[in-house]
Chain A
Amino acid sequence: SAVISQKPSRDICQRGTSLTIQCQVDSQVTMMFWYRQQPGQSLTLIATANQGSEATYESGFVIDKFPISRPNLTFSTLTVSNMSPEDSSIYLCSVETRDTDTQYFGPGTRLTVL
């Protein structure tokens, strides 16, 4: 399995500001994903973070709002830009390792926007 850390674990932010969430894995992984879980809802994929190239975004999510970086095989960031209260969610990083079909999740970042 992979050990995944996310920073920050939680934050309370003001409307109109931006927050960058970091995801660090203890081993090189093939795939990294960012999910959003709105209150009381299931998980929705935001994008696939591609190493060395632009992320692949799902329908309804755009790079200007959720810029993603993945400079190497163990690290990625997600920025939530120009936040509004509707962005209040748990944001989760997940990874797929080379030697298994399993996807593991980080502990999540609980974001509240006032």
Chain B
Amino acid sequence: AQKITQTQPGMFVQEKEAVTLDCTYDTSDPSYGLFWYKQPSSGEMIFLIYQGSYDQQNATEGRYSLNFQKARKSANLVISASQLGDSAMYFCAMRVRGGANNLFFGTGTRLTVIP
């Protein structure tokens, strides 16, 4: 069975500082993908970044980077130079290739950026 764990219900960060949101996962399938999504108060789910299990390098997208440590089964999201607009819920998710391709979500972390 697949499992995603986000242990930080809430995080605070000062504007312009970097913040790391934790995510650990568990699967026995060797082929999988890891995703991070941002959900502002409007409710939409905004795709941020993707990491494949066979990717050699950590994924980066602008101010977002994914610290992928395969042996530890962790996929932490790093947001650099935080902005007020980064305040939102952040969800880590996993998809296993051998399954139905749907996403398994963690419980989320609420990030608040302080001016």
Bound complex: CA A106 to CA B44 (Å): 7
Are A56's CB and B100's CB within 8 A?
yes
Report which of A44, A101, A104 forms a contact with B33, defined as CB distance below 8 A: A101
* Residues in B neighbouring A106, C-beta threshold 8 A: 44
Are A105's CB and B44's CB within 8 A?
yes
Report which of A45, A90, A94, A104 forms a contact with B43, defined as CB distance below 8 A: A90
Are A108's CB and B43's CB within 8 A?
yes
Report which of A42, A44, A56 forms a contact with B108, defined as CB distance below 8 A: A42
Given A101-B50, A104-B47, A107-B43: A43 and B103 within 8 A (CB)? yes
Given A102-B35, A102-B50, A105-B37: A31 and B101 within 8 A (CB)? yes
**B105: CB under 8 A from chain A?**
yes
Instruction: Type the 1/0 row for A31-47, where 1 means its CB is closer than 8 Å to any CB of B.
Output: 10100010001111100
**B68: CB under 8 A from chain A?**
no
Instruction: Type the 1/0 row for A76-114, where 1 means its CB is closer than 8 Å to any CB of B.
Output: 000000000000001010101000011111111010000
Are A108's CB and B44's CB within 8 A?
yes
Given A103-B35, A108-B43: A94 and B50 within 8 A (CB)? no
Bound complex: CA A105 to CA B100 (Å): 17
Instruction: Type the 1/0 row for A7-46, where 1 means its CB is closer than 8 Å to any CB of B.
Output: 0000000000000000000000001010001000111110
Are B43's CB and A110's CB within 8 A?
yes
Bound complex: CA A7 to CA B48 (Å): 24
Given A102-B47, A102-B50: A42 and B102 within 8 A (CB)? no
Are B47's CB and A103's CB within 8 A?
yes
* Residues in B neighbouring A1, C-beta threshold 8 A: 47
The interface of chain B, by Cβ under 8 A from chain A, is 33, 35, 37, 42-47, 50, 52, 91, 93, 95, 100-103, 105-108
The interface of chain A, by Cβ under 8 A from chain B, is 1, 31, 33, 37, 41-45, 48, 56, 90, 92, 94, 96, 101-108, 110
